[in-house]
């Protein structure tokens, strides 16, 4: 059985690693790894492959940046001959990036089966490009691997047949569990005793000068009570520079490799983010998370975990942070099947398809 994996952006890398490793234990499975090059910066890509133990890609499409339409189209055009040459029995796609939806579309046109890892997540906000990617991919996928019960419900409501849906847990937690001891052992120099760890990258937060200025001002208010460490996505760093904004005493860092970022995360007093994956990681780790979005496609991180949506409301950010500093942070629990064995469950389901 030939399984082809397609990844393109940093969140995909944490998800593909456990599935690659689990399928490698099955002798009848041949695997092909395609990197679309959607994230092309070395610090956002190559180092992640090395730390996560992912083999070098068999194919790199090298699409680079571009508008959503151009990037999606370029991936489809460059991927199609790879699919025709390699003839996979099934293609696995991950998460909600442009590489995911482009691959699902290309495979559907060629009659190749698709498995979507992290299916069923919904923010119900179609202004988010990721939401469009999720909706389209799930309609085209043949096997839908969901991380939690809400994903199952969303898919059933959208008319997906129940026998296509497999609740397997959160595969990204597999990578976290495996590398957590290494992150705990990582020595970090010049680290304050208490700090807020910040990540921001979503266009809705960083592409508008007035909005980004307001967020930075909110973070500067936070820094009066708590040191702020801010590993900056290249998009965010460029916007800060382009808009001529002053980050003041915020400690901006270059993007960090996975283990280094995890080492910062596990020691943080609080995490302030607009990332979906970090909402999940903080829930598993029991670290307070304040999400600067009005919605989330991961509601289980709110209902069971440590996540609180604060949007761009300065007062809410201030009051929730005050609760954390007083020791009154939300006490969460780990959702079912977030146990570090999701990759194994996905691999077993794929192997069963051949029987």
Return the active site residues.
201
Nearest-CA neighbor of 229 among 265, 185, 205? 265
Read out DSSP for 155-207?
A: HHHTT--GGGEEE---HHHHHHHHHHHHHHH---TT--SSEEEEE---HHHHS
Residue 224 contacts by C-beta under 8 Å, 6 or more apart in sequence?
none
Q: Give Dmax over CA atoms of the chain in angstroms.
A: 61
Q: Is 324 helix (H, G, I), strand (E, B) or coil?
A: helix
196 Cα distance to chain centroid: 20
Burial 83-103 (b: 16+ CB within 10 A, else e): beebebebbbbbbbbbbbbbb
Burial of 72 (0-12, 13-18, 19+ CB in 10 A): buried
Separation between Cα atoms, residue 87 and residue 269, nearest integer Å: 49
Separation between Cα atoms, residue 221 and residue 290, nearest integer Å: 15
- The beta strand positions in 51-157, using DSSP E, are 59-60, 90-94, 113-117, 143-146
Separation between Cα atoms, residue 211 and residue 209, nearest integer Å: 6
């Amino acid at each position: 059985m030939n399984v082809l994996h397609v990844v393109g952006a940093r969140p995909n890398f944490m998800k593909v690693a456990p599935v690659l490793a689990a399928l490698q234990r099955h002798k009848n499975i041949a695997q092909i790894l395609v990197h679309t090059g959607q994230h092309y910066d070395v610090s956002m890509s190559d180092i992640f492959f090395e730390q996560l133990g992912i083999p070098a890609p068999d194919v790199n499409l090298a699409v680079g940046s571009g508008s959503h339409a151009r990037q999606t189209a370029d991936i489809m055009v460059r991927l199609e001959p790879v699919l025709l040459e390699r003839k996979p029995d099934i293609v696995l796609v991950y998460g909600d990036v442009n590489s995911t939806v482009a691959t699902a579309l290309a495979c559907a046109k060629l009659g190749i089966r698709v498995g979507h890892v992290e299916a069923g997540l919904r923010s119900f906000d179609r202004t988010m490009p990721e939401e469009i990617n999720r909706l389209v991919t799930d309609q085209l996928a043949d096997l839908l691997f969901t991380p939690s019960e809400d994903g199952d419900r969303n898919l059933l409501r959208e008319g997906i047949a129940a026998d296509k849906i497999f609740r397997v847990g959160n595969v990204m937690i597999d990578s976290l569990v495996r590398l957590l001891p290494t992150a705990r052992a990582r020595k970090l120099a010049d680290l304050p005793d208490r700090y807020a760890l910040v990540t921001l990258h979503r266009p809705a937060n960083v592409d508008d000068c007035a909005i980004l200025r307001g967020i930075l001002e909110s973070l500067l208010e936070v820094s009066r009570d708590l040191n702020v460490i801010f590993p900056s996505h290249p998009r965010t760093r460029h916007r800060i520079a382009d808009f001529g904004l002053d980050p003041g005493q915020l400690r901006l860092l270059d993007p960090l490799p996975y283990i280094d970022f995890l080492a910062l995360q596990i020691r943080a007093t609080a995490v302030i983010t607009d990332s979906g994956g970090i909402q999940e990681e903080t829930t598993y780790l029991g670290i307070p998370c304040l999400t600067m979005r009005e919605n989330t496609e991961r509601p289980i991180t709110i209902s069971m975990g440590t996540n609180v949506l604060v949007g761009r409301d300065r007062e809410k950010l201030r009051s929730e942070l005050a609760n954390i500093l007083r020791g009154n942070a939300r006490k969460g629990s780990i959702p079912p099947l977030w146990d570090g064995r999701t990759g194994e469950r996905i691999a077993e389901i794929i192997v069963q398809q051949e029987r």
